[in-house]
Amino acid sequence: MSITGIKGMNDILPGEVETWQFLEVAARRVFALHGFSEIRVPVVEKTELFCRSIGETTDIVEKEMYSFCDKGGTSLTLRPEGTAAVMRAFIQHKLHALDPVAKLYYLGPMFRYERPQKGRYRQFHQIGAEAVGVDDPRIDAQILAMLQHFFDEIGLDDLDLQVNSLGCPQCRPLYRTQLVDFLETRLGDLCDDCRRRYTTNPLRVLDCKATGCGEATAAAPAMLDHLCEGCDEHFTAVRLHLEDIGARFTINRRMVRGLDYYTRTTFEMVTANLGAQNAVAAGGRYDGLVRQLGGPALPGIGFAMGVERLVLLMGEDRRAVQPPDIFLAALGDVAQRRVFSLMHDLQRRGVRAEIDYQGRSLKAQMRRADKLGAARVLIVGEDELTRGVGQLRNMGDSTQREVSLDELPRELGAK
Ligand code: HAM
């Protein structure tokens, strides 16, 4: 029996990978315009890093981490997200000493043991960005603007950017107490999960997908009405800057996030086209995280997009496999040798050239050139070879003319 891949972990095959590459190139281009540099961190970290940052009572830490002990007995975890690992690297390499603002981005696989379904996988990929060192609301607006800039670049414009503020360690505990008091009056209507977590993680109850919980908490108090003066001013300024640049957004007073490190501005880019997995990108501020991980007291804000979800949304607007510029069809052993070195030369000069490897008939070679979508075919038989020429056929209009083999690179506009 053959061995198959792991459930919820996908292979990305040619035909699909071109869309991935398109998204990656667009992200790199847009992020660079906003002054972000790439950072690459390992896919495995000490388990403690994620427990301390994401939070012990979150779904991710409670149920979804791929954790194991290495041969030295250290508990390690496949990263379930990028922010914690990037902050670990930021602190370890003292990046704050180099520049008061660190703007970093990353791409790569993340791992969560979730129930796989469309748009939700156990190995998935994020493209994320983090800005550390600035609490000015302009950076919040810039991060959101950068996200929208990216979505505009890739041609996805029917997304809803929802924004909220989750307060800070000064105002959130007071709000939390009020929320717990409110939930206590509705316990009978909550699902088992929420009855269990309403004291440990009451905000998550607002995000519960069970219909009973949604109805029971419809009148729950909102964090936005309980922000302290500092958080209120900050959020007002974020909205103002977003309006100044004409950003499209809505306020979602019920939005909470599944990770504990968030403070103040939080946001999600939501689509109506992916069923339950409606968040294509999400993020927010995490002003206490760097400190909590043993670094200096520096604020931060960032987001991550789910690449699989982006690819699903791109739908028909896929990037195709690049067809060859020319297919070199050869007849006979000597012509095959000549064509092989011609291919080598063309490729080094920037032309996508293909040959046949099976010594097949001209008809079969033409069929293959057609299947590959080659724009042109060069036919070299023994007679042509002795004269140092080939028949250059344009596959679009089926015209054909003789060209000198030495002149071919120039004919094709090669370097
Ligand atoms: P998150 O909301 O857990 O936030 O994930 C961000 C995005 O990753 C989601 O909106 C979704 O598109 C994608 N995603 C998450 N889980 C899965 C999955 N199982 N399958 C497919 N896609 C998934 C974070 O991870 C934060 N680190 C974001 C952030 C960066 N906050 C501040 N900086």
- Same domain for 243 and 390, yes or no, is no
Q: Residues with Cβ within 6 A of ligand 1?
A: 81-83, 112, 114, 120-121, 124, 126, 128, 130, 258-259, 279-284, 302-306, 308-309
- Within a domain: 319: no
Which atom of ligand 1 approaches the CA of 126 most closely? 8
Instruction: Among 20, 39, 63, 124, name the best residue to mutate to test ligand 1's pocket (greatest count of ligand atoms within 8 A of Cβ).
Output: 124
- Same domain for 398 and 336, yes or no, is yes
Half-sphere exposure of 389 (CA within 13 A, CB side): 11
| Token digits of residue 411 | 């004919």
Interior/surface letters 62-96, b for 16+ CB within 10 angstroms, e for the rest:
eebbbeeeeeeeeebbbbbbbbbbbbbbbbeeebb
- Same domain for 265 and 378, yes or no, is no
> What are 68-71's contacts with CB under 8 Å, separation 24+?
none
What phi and psi, each to the nearest 5 degrees, are found at residue 30?
A: -65, -45
Residue having the nearest C-alpha atom to atom 10 of ligand 1? 281
Could you give the CA distance from residue 341 to residue 69 in angstroms, rounded to a whole number?
A: 52
| Token digits of residue 297 | 């007291």
In this prediction, residue 57 carries a pLDDT of 87
In this prediction, residue 316 carries a pLDDT of 72
Instruction: Among 142, 166, 309, name the best residue to mutate to test ligand 1's pocket (greatest count of ligand atoms within 8 A of Cβ).
Output: 309
Which atom of ligand 1 approaches the CA of 130 most closely? 33
Residue having the nearest C-alpha atom to atom 17 of ligand 1? 120
For residue 309, the cross-strand partners are: none
In this prediction, residue 123 carries a pLDDT of 98
- Within a domain: 5: no
| CATH assignment at residue 362 | 3.40.50.800
> How many angstroms does the Cα of residue 235 sit away from the middle of ligand 1?
23
Instruction: Among 66, 259, 307, name the best residue to mutate to test ligand 1's pocket (greatest count of ligand atoms within 8 A of Cβ).
Output: 259
In this prediction, residue 258 carries a pLDDT of 87
Could you give the CA distance from residue 275 to residue 21 in angstroms, rounded to a whole number?
A: 25
- Same domain for 119 and 149, yes or no, is yes
- Same domain for 308 and 330, yes or no, is no
- Within a domain: 207: no
In this prediction, residue 312 carries a pLDDT of 94
Range of the domain at 158: 17-171+227-314
Count of domains forming the chain? 2
In this prediction, residue 277 carries a pLDDT of 84
In this prediction, residue 275 carries a pLDDT of 86
- Within a domain: 381: yes
The answer to whether residues 53 and 68 touch, using CB atoms and an 8 Å cutoff, is: no
Which atom of ligand 1 approaches the CA of 128 most closely? 30
- Sorted by sequence, the CB contacts under 8 Å of residue 266 that are 6+ apart come out as 163, 164, 165, 166, 255, 256, 257, 282, 283, 284, 285
- Same domain for 91 and 158, yes or no, is yes
Which atom of ligand 1 approaches the CA of 84 most closely? 27
The separation between the first and the last C-alpha atoms of the chain, rounded to the nearest angstrom, is 49
The answer to whether residues 141 and 238 touch, using CB atoms and an 8 Å cutoff, is: yes
In this prediction, residue 320 carries a pLDDT of 75
Residues annotated within a binding site for L-histidine:
81-83, 112, 126, 130, 257, 261-262
- Same domain for 404 and 288, yes or no, is no
| CATH assignment at residue 289 | 3.30.930.10
Residue having the nearest C-alpha atom to atom 18 of ligand 1? 120
For residue 256, the cross-strand partners are: none
> How many angstroms does the Cα of residue 122 sit away from the middle of ligand 1?
12
DSSP 303-331: EEEEHHHHHHHHTT-PPPPPPPSEEEEE-
In this prediction, residue 205 carries a pLDDT of 93
> How many angstroms does the Cα of residue 120 sit away from the middle of ligand 1?
10
Q: What is the pLDDT along the chain (415 residues), one digit of tens a residue?
A: 899 999 999 999 998 999 999 999 999 999 999 999 999 999 999 999 999 999 998 999 999 999 999 999 999 999 999 999 999 999 999 999 999 999 999 999 999 999 999 999 999 999 999 999 999 999 999 999 999 999 999 999 889 999 999 999 999 999 999 999 999 999 999 999 899 889 988 999 998 888 889 999 999 999 999 999 999 999 999 999 999 999 999 999 999 998 999 999 999 999 998 888 899 999 999 999 999 999 999 999 999 999 999 999 998 777 778 899 999 999 999 999 999 999 999 999 999 999 999 999 999 999 999 999 999 999 999 999 999 999 999 999 999 999 999 999 999 988 7
